[in-house]
Structure 1
Amino acid sequence: MIRFACVAMLMLACRFTMGQDKAFAPVSYDITCIFQLTFFPDSTSAVSKTESFFLFIKQEQSLFKSKNRYLQDSAISAADAAENRRNLMSFLRQHPTDFDFSIVKHGCNVTHTVDRIYHNYFSYTEVPGHLQWVLTQDTATVSGYPAQRATTEFGGRIWEAWFTETVPVSEGPYKFCGLPGLIVRLADSKKQYEFVLDGLKQSRRDVYDQTPKTVKTDKRTFFKKQQEYRANPIGVAEQSGVVFTSGRSEIVQRVQQKQKSNNNPIEFFTN
């Protein structure tokens, strides 16, 4: 029996390694933020999960991705295709992530997202002005910083952000930015997704962020393809060449159950 998760991970490693250019230059960032995300992948369950994220910031540019995705990318980039394949697969299994996206923002005016559907990578750009903030007079101390509250609607959710002008960068986790200071806490109104700043270091850091070759698309098309995959992941795998020699019905049942309990993405496409 071919295990679907293992096949998908192997194809991810192969595609990433084969799709890269061998030589590329790092990008130097001046600030590294660590955010801790608490989220509920199943909207019908009270069981939460946590994952850490990096937000790298320099003048007029930032990079946001999960810590484990960052570690995966670094390991895949450094791996020699044949001799290190076994070690690479072991490393990937030890550093799983629920979030494959990589988000680059240019001063909040241009927001590029690279995300994976099965083993294909797609890129799309947000419509300019995707965030319309409402500032309030509420203040509090958040993660050790004096902060002010602001709200916005995005991705089918109402969001509350706490930002601090002590760190004068108009940045924040995920696709959020545009406030007069760093967002140190961000949560939707149902508290199904909550990012909290867990660390900040102001020192230069070279980041190698080479992603595989991507298919450029628009956001609507990407979310449509994502929904199609979630509705029939086995069918998509078989169309890409995966053959289940035995136990197909068991695999289908297991994958369908996993998809059923993964019904609460961070963002819904509403436009």
Structure 2
Amino acid sequence: MKKLVILAIILLMQTAFAQTNRFVYQVTMKPDASNKNDIKTENAYLDISAEKSVFYSENRIKRDSVMQANRQSGGARGFNRDQMESLRTNINYSIEKDKKNQKIFYKDRLGRDQYSYEEDRPLDWKILQETTKIGEYKVQKAETDFAGRKWTAWFTTDLPYQDGPYKFSGLPGLVVKAEDAKGDYSFDLMKNYKISDFPALATFGNVVKVKRTDYVKQQEKFKTDPMSFMSQGGGGPRMGNRGGGNQNPAEMRKRMEERVKEEAKKNSNPIELK
């Protein structure tokens, strides 16, 4: 009987340790360089386990859920356009940190495929003596220059994680708040809770692994010639008879290019400037 009790305690401890912790951040962005009054705010998740962490948009997982439900019903329900519009996100990327190998992987979609690169620029933090309290956490100040922006972060050692939102990591604690010097981007920890496991993020098309510099080149190419990314091989959603009937390829190209250029204008102040 005693052995059974000990075994039960061990299993309970293993289950608790295996759980994933979700930290919810409010992300505030000014993505349009020509209109700094256009402020976007949405939530993002940082899911952390002992082996890895993943940072991604809350709206993304909600959209995936809606689309999955629609597929399971054979498309009979149809999409609620207002609902899908309300779940649009400015955080189209996801970021995975491999804790064992100390690597950061960035994933984003270009056209029909998902592009992935390993971050090759280490974050060089300067930890300052200044401390304060944010919510229930005692935090300490740190600064870094990364990808063309000067960042201030506040981290806490009250939680047993050396991690943070976006690509932020390498501090002796969890990042509770991070903001760039221009006030264009900020991440603020709102709450945290346990989840059973990492959710499966929908992936369209192929996963194309490239170097970061090549991804930047591909990103620029996509802005000028988006249709070339729609005609490449891969299993992603194809441009085609979405509305029924045959569509003029020239008209499709024109609409696609106009939409991508409009999106580029709205995102002319990216989080990474170089």
Shorter chain as normaliser: what TM range? 0.7 to 0.9
* Map 1:225-264 → 2, pairs under 5 A: 225-233=218-226, 236=229, 243=248, 256-264=261-269
- Over 3 Å counting, the alpha-carbon distance change for 1:237 and 1:106 in structure 2 is closer
Separation (CA, whole Å) in 2 of partners of 1:207 and 1:75: 18
Larger CA Rg, structure 1 vs 2: 2
Q: 2:96 aligns with which of 100, 104, 107?
A: 104
Structure 1's unaligned 5+ residue stretches are 1-27
Structure 2's unaligned 5+ residue stretches are 1-17, 233-237, 241-247
- Over 3 Å counting, the alpha-carbon distance change for 1:249 and 1:126 in structure 2 is closer
CA contact (8 A) 2:223 2:260 kept: no
For residue 63 of structure 2, give the secondary structure of its aligned residue in structure 1: helix
CA contact (8 A) 2:20 2:198 kept: no
Aligned pair count reads 240
Give the equivalent residue in structure 2 for 1:56: 47
Give the equivalent residue in structure 1 for 2:5: none
Give the equivalent residue in structure 1 for 2:214: 221
Give the equivalent residue in structure 2 for 1:140: 132
- The residue type equivalent to 2:115 in the other structure is F
Q: 1:206 aligns with which of 171, 188, 197?
A: 197
- Over 3 Å counting, the alpha-carbon distance change for 1:120 and 1:180 in structure 2 is same
What per-residue deviation string (whole Å, max 9, x for no partner) do you get for residues 100-131 of structure 1?
A: 2121112281111221112321111112x611
Cα drift, residue 233 of structure 1: 3.7
CA contact (8 A) 1:169 1:181 kept: yes
Separation (CA, whole Å) in 2 of partners of 1:251 and 1:73: 23
What per-residue deviation string (whole Å, max 9, x for no partner) do you get for residues 135-159 of structure 1?
A: 0011122233111010112222111
- The residue type equivalent to 2:88 in the other structure is P
Highest RCO, 1 vs 2 (Cα 8 Å, sep ≥ 6) = 1
Give the equivalent residue in structure 1 for 2:235: none
Runs of 4 or more above 4 Å deviation: 234-255
CA contact (8 A) 2:151 2:181 kept: yes
- Over 3 Å counting, the alpha-carbon distance change for 1:135 and 1:67 in structure 2 is same
- Over 3 Å counting, the alpha-carbon distance change for 1:92 and 1:29 in structure 2 is farther
Give the equivalent residue in structure 2 for 1:116: 109
TM score, norm. by length of structure 2: 0.76
TM score, norm. by length of structure 1: 0.77
Separation (CA, whole Å) in 2 of partners of 1:163 and 1:74: 32
For residue 78 of structure 2, give the secondary structure of its aligned residue in structure 1: helix
For residue 138 of structure 2, give the secondary structure of its aligned residue in structure 1: strand
Separation (CA, whole Å) in 1 of partners of 2:199 and 2:24: 17
Q: 1:75 aligns with which of 66, 70, 73?
A: 66
Pick which of 163-172 and 204-213 moved more.
Answer: 204-213
Separation (CA, whole Å) in 1 of partners of 2:57 and 2:94: 8
CA contact (8 A) 1:143 1:184 kept: no
Pick which of 252-261 and 214-223 moved more.
Answer: 252-261
Give the equivalent residue in structure 1 for 2:29: 39
What is the aligned-residue RMSD (CA, Å)?
Answer: 2.8
Cα drift, residue 260 of structure 1: 2.3
- The residue type equivalent to 2:62 in the other structure is L
- Over 3 Å counting, the alpha-carbon distance change for 1:132 and 1:208 in structure 2 is same
What per-residue deviation string (whole Å, max 9, x for no partner) do you get for residues 51-100 of structure 1?
A: 11011111131111000112223334454267236534645333111122
